[in-house]
Amino acid sequence: MAAAPATCVLAAPVDLDHPGHYLHWGVVQISVANLVVIGLMVVVFVAALLLPFPHGRRDDE
Q: For 1-14, what is the mean pLDDT? A: 58
pTM over 0.85, yes/no:
no
Residue 49 backbone phi and psi in degrees, to 5: -75, -35
pLDDT tens string 8-61 = 665 556 667 788 899 999 999 999 989 999 999 999 999 999 988 777 677 665
- The answer to whether 22 and 30 have CB atoms below 8 angstroms apart is yes
Q: What is the pLDDT of residue 4?
A: 60
Q: What is the pLDDT of residue 7?
A: 58
Q: What is the pLDDT of residue 13?
A: 64
Q: What is the pLDDT of residue 55?
A: 77
